[in-house]
Structure 1
């Protein structure tokens, strides 16, 4: 009886061994050295292109500075225009000058040298402007007189003394020039001082 049981056990062991061997040859054992590797899952594709970064909106950007006009090298910027000159007219004239006359001519009548003159005003440019009627003012023979250009030539700008005869001699050849002079009258109403005002 025991012998029959032993044979049955041996037979069962033999069947198990055959089954195990068959399984190994078919590749069912994943640990066997002859097992074929299973197919690996495909790797996800790698992105080769970089996504374009959108440019920042101009609405959020800082405002650009205004363009400036460059001055060419070696040239200075244009100078500002000068202010317009004031308009001269009667409203800008000063009152009649009490000590300035425009000498036009002279006359020796009555035995005394008399200058024919006009009074006037200083206009807004600063020049003496004769106006009104011609009048007569006697001048002393020894009056203190100084003259500049044009009586003493175009280059004389500083007053130099001249005599009454030298003045009347110039008036003979240059009548009606209306040169401005400052004058002073003595107690008798005769010119004793006469100084020419230089005019460019």
Structure 2
């Protein structure tokens, strides 16, 4: 009986030895080949069949800027507020070309003439300049005046300091023009249906 057990134990030991030897020969022990070098894995070819060139590096995408908040415009107007109104242009100064159109009812009286059997004033039309004075311009023309015209005069016809207009006759006006020709005093005038002056009012000038 003891001999049988001894043979069985020997058989088990023999089997274990055979298994250990088989494991060493098959390379299952990782420490059995310390000098073994790993084989280089072949890189996968990119789609399209073209192989990457030696030393080529993969491109790294730039970081996205979509998350950055947009900067407000320097000219943006805050909500609920109107933009300021532009400043008005400066007023023209004396000396600038700012004359008004030719005045239709103002004349500068220079002289008179009794030719043709009727008294006519020799006048110039003109414009109002700076600072509001009437400035005669253009040719001298003739306008007949009625002997019964309503005429008002101030200084200098009625003397210095006379500001308010006072009535005078046509003969008083022509008498003053005899001794003071070419003064160009401004008058507002009105024509009747026959084109004759029936109203003449002197404009006071300081």
TM range (shorter): 0.5 to 0.7
SS of residue matched to 1:152: coil
Q: Of the candidates 108, 127, 139, which is equivalent to residue 133 of structure 1? A: 139
Aligned to 1:106: 112
Identify unmatched segments of 5+ residues in structure 1: 1-83
Tell me, in whole angstroms, the C-alpha distance in 2 between the residues paired with 1:109 and 1:187.
21
Aligned to 2:130: 124
Tell me, in whole angstroms, the C-alpha distance in 2 between the residues paired with 1:85 and 1:188.
41
User: 1:156 aligned to 2:162?
Assistant: yes
Structure of greater Rg: 1
SS of residue matched to 1:92: coil
Tell me, in whole angstroms, the C-alpha distance in 2 between the residues paired with 1:154 and 1:170.
14
Q: Of the candidates 60, 83, 94, which is equivalent to residue 87 of structure 1? A: 94
User: 1:142 aligned to 2:152?
Assistant: no
Tell me, in whole angstroms, the C-alpha distance in 1 between the residues paired with 2:100 and 2:92.
18
Aligned to 2:201: 195
Q: Following TM superposition, where does structure 1 have runs of at least 4 consecutive aligned residues deviating by more than 2 angstroms?
A: none
* RMSD value, Cα: 1.6
Structure 1 residue 85 displacement after superposition: 8.2
Deviation per CA, 1:166-194: give whole Å up to 9, x if none. 00000000000000000000000000000
Deviation per CA, 1:114-172: give whole Å up to 9, x if none. 00000000002100000000000000000000000000000211000000000000000
Tell me, in whole angstroms, the C-alpha distance in 2 between the residues paired with 1:141 and 1:133.
25
Aligned to 1:169: 175
> In 2, are the aligned partners of 1:88 and 1:123 still within 8 Å (CA)?
no
SS of residue matched to 2:175: helix
Matched length = 117
SS of residue matched to 1:168: helix
Deviation per CA, 1:69-92: give whole Å up to 9, x if none. xxxxxxxxxxxxxxx981324x20
> In 2, are the aligned partners of 1:104 and 1:116 still within 8 Å (CA)?
yes
SS of residue matched to 2:152: strand
